[in-house]
Structure 1
Amino acid sequence: MYKIPVSVLVIIHTVDLQVLLLERADHPGFWQSVTGSQDPGETLVQTAIREVSEETGLNPTGYVLTNWQIENCYEIYQEWRWRYGPDVRFNTEHVFGLCLPDIMPIMIAAREHLNYIWLPWQQAAEKVFSSSNAEAILKLPVRAQFAQVDT
């Protein structure tokens, strides 16, 4: 079954703007936030909750999960296109933020990730391989401020 070309990017961060990054198992040295494709019948929020749980072991429903209302459309890397339908070249990514009270231990999904690291937001933005991931992290100071006001 092909993947749906709709995904979530979840910036997991602490109140003091430490950001969680995961190192891809299929690309050592490629760091990213939690990301994943929508499953059939899922809402974007359900996708974000599932991906956070699968990739980190965290239960995101106990924390503030915010849809940042940002959509990024990008061309799918050639090496990953086989996962999608024959004529699919673009993916639409929806950005979310998940605010934790403090740095927490993570249980990575070994088939997907090799390691994890918590970094200050500026360093995290520099370390990720995806430009849309970096742009989202750079918006974190303003977004986190709104998340705290909303709670």
Structure 2
Amino acid sequence: MGRMPYHIHVFLYRERKGSFEFAVFERSDLPDIWQGVSGGGEAGESVVQAALRECMEEAGVTEPGRLYPLDSVSVMRSTVFAEWTQAWGKDIVVLPMYFFGMPYDGEVTLSEEHLAFEWMDYEKANARVGMPDQNTALWELNERLRRKNLKRAIPAWMERPWRMGEGR
């Protein structure tokens, strides 16, 4: 059945000496592009399941922390994944992208999708991440951590499996 037309983005974070660090990954297909864990949903899985799976596949996260949904939401062009554009049909033009934060203090194991990763403070991570929507989500996560108001419930629709043609 393939991938569903939505994308997730997770910024792993940890606390060190009273401040926060964020794991930022360099893509292997686009060197010099750094981001959090990112990927598309698979058939029959929920947005939350996709986020947890991508964390395991891309960073080796076998004992994930709690996922915290961010208010930041974005879209990406469906043509980024040319191999899926035909399968999705003419109606899928953009894909929603949902952002999360996840506390994580374990080992990171890179997949073939990345060349490198680093734990960085907010300023360095923000400078390294080059996509404005990702910068906004990273800013929101940092701001929520700073304000101590990250703990938020995951909306029920993010827990339900997605099917082609469904929205929220």
Which TM-score applies when normalising by structure 2? Answer: 0.76
- Given that 2:68 and 2:152 are in contact with CA atoms closer than 8 Å, whether structure 1 keeps it comes out as no
Paired residues in the alignment total 145
Gaps of 5+ in 1: none
CA contact (8 A) 2:72 2:99 kept: yes
Q: Is the 8 A contact 1:24 1:114 kept in 2?
A: yes
Q: Is the 8 A contact 1:52 1:60 kept in 2?
A: no
Matches of 1:129 and 1:28, distance apart in 2: 12
Residues 143 and 90 (structure 1 numbering): CA distance in 2 closer, same or farther, change over 3 Å? same
The 5 A counterparts of 1:14-93 are 14-15=14-15, 16-61=19-64, 63-76=65-78, 78=79, 80-84=81-85, 85-87=88-90, 88-93=92-97
- How far the C-alpha of 1:86 sits from its partner, in A, is 4.6
Deviation string 1:26-81 (CA, Å, 9 cap, x unpaired) is: 111111100110111111111110000100001243x22112243212324x5533
Moved over 6 A (4+): none
Q: Which runs of 5+ in 2 are unaligned?
A: 154-168
Q: How does 1:94-133 map to 2 (within 5 A)?
A: 94-100=98-104, 102=105, 104-110=106-112, 112-133=113-134
Identity of aligned residues (%): 23
CA drift of 1:132 comes to 1.1
The alpha-carbon distance between structure 1 residues 10 and 60, as it changes in their structure 2 partners (threshold 3 A), is farther
User: Partners of 2:59 and 2:80 in 1: how far apart?
Assistant: 25
- Return the alpha-carbon distance in structure 1 between the equivalents of residues 71 and 44 of structure 2: 20
Q: C-alpha displacement at 1:148, in angstroms?
A: 5.9
TM-score by length of 1: 0.83
